[in-house]
């Protein structure tokens, strides 16, 4: 692709309407999307072109402009069983940081508009790579194709744009200069003050294995727009989506006259995991992290940099009563099935009173609730060719082992079974395992059981359900919560307890919206107030500390 060299200012003007739309949206938190989630919007050949672009990456060395030792590493394995063998350059860490530091100079000196224009151009170009990214996300994370396209492409781009809008908003609130005139005798004191936005330094973005673009883009783009350089350390199983992203970013920077080494890729090798070493580099002033709680908490406690984390949590559903029993169970079944429970937003613990619940069709016993849920899962999954489009594939061996172990435990009412994938014989497809446990059995359910594992927990009553859900959010972290109730006092109590657990809550979802879904510009993803993470996508706090303001005071004439 040949691109005309365009200045950042030109790019800012070119994408102005997109930015303005995003800035409006973050004020109302209403519906907005800049990048279509419908495949049709991309033209007839886009899907095939994306597939071809992805295929062309396989079995080759991935070229990026950055220092390398000359060695390469190819750690990724497709959960669908196809051969990837993309070889990534092994980095020379010292040289990488030197290059990033050097590249940051001109970038930091550019205007906020220039940096924003370049970021918006990169997003437009990434959008044109959405189908290539879909395959890259699918074959690293195990997501089904449609989810990989939407969440890995346009939804991730929207989330990036949201962060750009917040960052630009924050920067534009700082005047370039003012003449400060203080009344005094015999004449006022007049001082010219200039305010410069100065980046913190290098941002280290540590990617995750499940939504490598969606989770990494907000930090990457917020840091870039505020003048920082970014070193991306991807999860060793999900490199390609971020490598393609950096390839596009480097090309955009180059075309706009900036050093592409402003963004670089640092890939682990099996005998040299990089995250700790990179996180402790003195040049690293910001860290954006998505991943396990253990390492996220280590970063929060040990890194000198500002750290923004999304870690793990235990998400709860409190079922008190419903006016749409079938809709409720179907909605929950979809939530549990989607991407085999490998979303940080998937419910894990479903609290149901031992005495059962009230429904529009009369009382449902505890066992009837459980039966309806497992039947709804079966109905959602249907035949394997349909099921795999919801389930995707299991990304890691650890998850497979966890599911197998759970299958063998007491209380299982629905075992996880392996399904054949009609298109990918090597795909690791698993249905969810559902177990019924008692409220007293905390050991079993009060930690994250990542993957297609859910517990229906028998409680004394809804108060106990709410109390347990709140405690877990507060103590273990939670990213989502649902309550089903027709009783306004229960709903009021649930919201009060959600505020105490600092978790976002959904109420009576019985239609197509799932609690798993988080919409850019509208839903704050992770509250940042419980152990599931210390930051939110996206609010002002996520961007406002990525730069500093340096002031110059000069007496004015």
User: For residues 476-495, which are near a second copy according to CB under 8 A?
Assistant: 495
Judged by CB under 8 A, the stretch of 29-37, 266-274, 344-352, 432-440 that binds a second copy is: 29-37
Are the C-beta atoms of residues 492 and 483 closer than 8 Å to each other? no
Crossing angle, helix 112-128 and helix 130-141, to 10 degrees? 70
Smallest gap from residue 262 Cβ to a second copy (A): 18
- Kindly state whether residue 554 participates in binding a second copy, applying the rule CB under 8 A: yes
Considering the complex, state which of residue 463 and residue 539 has its C-beta at the smaller distance from a second copy.
Answer: 539
Considering the complex, state which of residue 63 and residue 541 has its C-beta at the smaller distance from a second copy.
Answer: 541
| Best CA proximity match to 110, nearest among 196, 202, 32, 187 | 196
Count of residues that bind a second copy according to CB under 8 A: 61
User: For residues 278-337, which are near a second copy according to CB under 8 A?
Assistant: 301, 304
Judged by CB under 8 A, the stretch of 179-187, 230-238, 271-279, 427-435 that binds a second copy is: 179-187
Are the C-beta atoms of residues 468 and 418 closer than 8 Å to each other? no
Considering the complex, state which of residue 116 and residue 508 has its C-beta at the smaller distance from a second copy.
Answer: 508
- Kindly state whether residue 44 participates in binding a second copy, applying the rule CB under 8 A: no
- Kindly state whether residue 184 participates in binding a second copy, applying the rule CB under 8 A: yes
Applying CB under 8 A, among 368, 524, 532, 557 the residue interacting with a second copy is 524
CA distance 501 to 476: 10
- Kindly state whether residue 4 participates in binding a second copy, applying the rule CB under 8 A: no
User: For residues 503-522, which are near a second copy according to CB under 8 A?
Assistant: 503-513, 519, 522
Considering the complex, state which of residue 141 and residue 536 has its C-beta at the smaller distance from a second copy.
Answer: 536
| Best CA proximity match to 34, nearest among 226, 138, 165, 149 | 165
- Kindly state whether residue 383 participates in binding a second copy, applying the rule CB under 8 A: no
Applying CB under 8 A, among 332, 502, 516, 532 the residue interacting with a second copy is 502
Residue partners of 343: CB distance under 8 A and separation at least 6: 210, 211, 516
Cis amide linkage into residue 87, ω under 30° from 0: no
Applying CB under 8 A, among 367, 464, 471, 539 the residue interacting with a second copy is 539
Smallest gap from residue 58 Cβ to a second copy (A): 35
- Kindly state whether residue 548 participates in binding a second copy, applying the rule CB under 8 A: yes
Smallest gap from residue 532 Cβ to a second copy (A): 12
- Kindly state whether residue 219 participates in binding a second copy, applying the rule CB under 8 A: no
Judged by CB under 8 A, the stretch of 368-376, 394-402, 448-456, 540-548 that binds a second copy is: 540-548
| Best CA proximity match to 316, nearest among 346, 339, 291, 293 | 346
Applying CB under 8 A, among 198, 326, 413, 439 the residue interacting with a second copy is 198
- Kindly state whether residue 40 participates in binding a second copy, applying the rule CB under 8 A: no
User: For residues 432-471, which are near a second copy according to CB under 8 A?
Assistant: none
Considering the complex, state which of residue 21 and residue 529 has its C-beta at the smaller distance from a second copy.
Answer: 529
Judged by CB under 8 A, the stretch of 152-160, 174-182, 364-372, 387-395 that binds a second copy is: 174-182
Considering the complex, state which of residue 429 and residue 505 has its C-beta at the smaller distance from a second copy.
Answer: 505
Applying CB under 8 A, among 106, 179, 354, 440 the residue interacting with a second copy is 179
Provide the CB-side half-sphere exposure for 116 (13 A, CA).
Answer: 27
How close are the terminal C-alpha atoms of the chain, in Å? 53
Residue partners of 500: CB distance under 8 A and separation at least 6: 470, 474
Backbone φ and ψ of 121, nearest 5°: -65, -40
Considering the complex, state which of residue 18 and residue 495 has its C-beta at the smaller distance from a second copy.
Answer: 495
| Best CA proximity match to 329, nearest among 338, 339, 319, 342 | 319
The string of DSSP letters for 265-324 reads E---BTTB--HHHHHT-TTEEEEEEES-HHHHHHHHHH-SSEEEEE-----EEEE-B-S-
| Best CA proximity match to 381, nearest among 484, 456, 328, 452 | 452
Q: Strands, DSSP E only, in 331-441?
A: 349-353, 357-359, 362-364, 412-414, 418-419, 429-430, 433-438
Burial 18-35 (b: 16+ CB within 10 A, else e): bbeebbebbeeeeebbbb
Judged by CB under 8 A, the stretch of 14-22, 189-197, 367-375, 431-439 that binds a second copy is: 189-197
Q: Is the dihedral of CA 372, 373, 376, 377 positive or negative?
A: negative
537: three-class secondary structure by DSSP: strand
Smallest gap from residue 22 Cβ to a second copy (A): 14
Backbone φ and ψ of 415, nearest 5°: -80, 150
Judged by CB under 8 A, the stretch of 26-34, 336-344, 380-388, 403-411 that binds a second copy is: 26-34
Binding positions for a second copy, rule: CB under 8 A: 27-31, 170, 173-175, 178-184, 189, 191, 193, 195-196, 198, 200, 301, 304, 495, 498-499, 502-513, 519, 522-524, 527-529, 536, 539-541, 544-545, 548-555
């Amino acid at each position: 692709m040949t691109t005309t060299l365009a200045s950042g200012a030109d790019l800012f003007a070119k994408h102005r309407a997109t930015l303005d739309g995003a800035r409006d949206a973050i004020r109302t938190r209403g519906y907005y999307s800049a990048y279509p989630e419908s495949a049709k919007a991309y033209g007839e050949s886009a899907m095939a072109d994306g597939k071809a672009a992805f295929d062309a990456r396989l079995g080759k060395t991935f070229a990026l402009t950055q220092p390398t030792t000359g060695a390469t590493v190819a750690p990724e394995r497709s959960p669908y069983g196809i051969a990837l063998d993309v070889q990534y350059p092994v980095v020379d860490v010292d040289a990488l940081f030197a290059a990033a530091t050097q590249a940051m100079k001109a970038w930091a000196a550019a205007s906020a508009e220039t940096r924003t224009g370049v970021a918006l151009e990169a997003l437009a170009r990434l959008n044109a790579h959405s189908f290539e990214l879909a395959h890259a996300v699918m074959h690293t994370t195990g997501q089904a194709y449609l989810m990989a396209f939407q969440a890995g492409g346009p939804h991730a781009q929207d989330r990036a744009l949201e962060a750009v809008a917040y960052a630009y908003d924050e920067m534009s609130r700082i005047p370039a200069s003012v003449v400060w005139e203080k009344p005094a005798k015999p004449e006022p004191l007049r001082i010219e003050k200039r305010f410069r936005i100065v980046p913190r330094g290098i941002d280290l973005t540590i990617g995750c294995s499940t939504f490598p673009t969606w989770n990494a883009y907000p930090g990457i783009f917020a840091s870039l727009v505020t003048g920082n350089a970014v070193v991306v350390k991807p999860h060793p199983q999900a490199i390609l989506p971020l490598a393609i992203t950096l390839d596009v970013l480097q090309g955009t920077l180059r075309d706009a006259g900036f050093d592409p080494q402003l963004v670089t890729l640092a890939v682990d090798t099996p005998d040299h995991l990089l995250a700790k070493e990179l996180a402790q580099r003195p040049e690293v002033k910001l860290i954006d992290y998505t991943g396990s709680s253990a390492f996220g908490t280590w970063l929060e406690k040990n890194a000198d940099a500002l750290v923004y984390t999304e870690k793990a949590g235990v998400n709860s559903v409190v079922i008190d009563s419903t006016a749409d029993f079938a809709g409720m169970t179907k909605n929950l079944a979809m939530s549990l099935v989607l991407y085999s429970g490998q979303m940080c937003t998937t419910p894990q613990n479903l609290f149901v009173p031992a005495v059962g619940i009230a429904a529009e069709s009369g009382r449902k016993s505890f066992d009837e609730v459980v039966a309806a849920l497992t039947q709804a899962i079966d109905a959602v999954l249907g035949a394997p060719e349909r099921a795999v489009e919801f389930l995707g594939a299991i990304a890691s061996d650890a998850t497979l082992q966890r599911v197998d172990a759970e299958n063998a435990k007491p209380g299982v009412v629905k075992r996880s079974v392996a399904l054949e994938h009609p298109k990918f014989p090597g795909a690791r497809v698993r249905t969810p395992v559902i177990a019924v446990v008692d409220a007293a059995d905390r050991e079993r359910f009060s930690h994250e059981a990542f993957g297609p594992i859910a517990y229906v927990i028998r409680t004394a009553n809804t108060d106990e359900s709410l109390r347990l859900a709140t405690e877990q959010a507060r103590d273990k972290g939670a990213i989502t919560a649902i309550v089903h109730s027709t009783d306004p006092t229960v709903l009021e109590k649930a919201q009060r307890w959600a505020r105490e657990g600092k978790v976002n809550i959904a109420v009576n979802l019985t239609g197509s919206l799932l609690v798993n879904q988080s919409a850019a510009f509208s839903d704050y993803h992770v509250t940042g107030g419980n152990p599931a993470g210390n930051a939110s996508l996206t609010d002002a706090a996520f961007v406002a500390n990525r730069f500093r303001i340096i002031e110059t005071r000069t007496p004015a004439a």
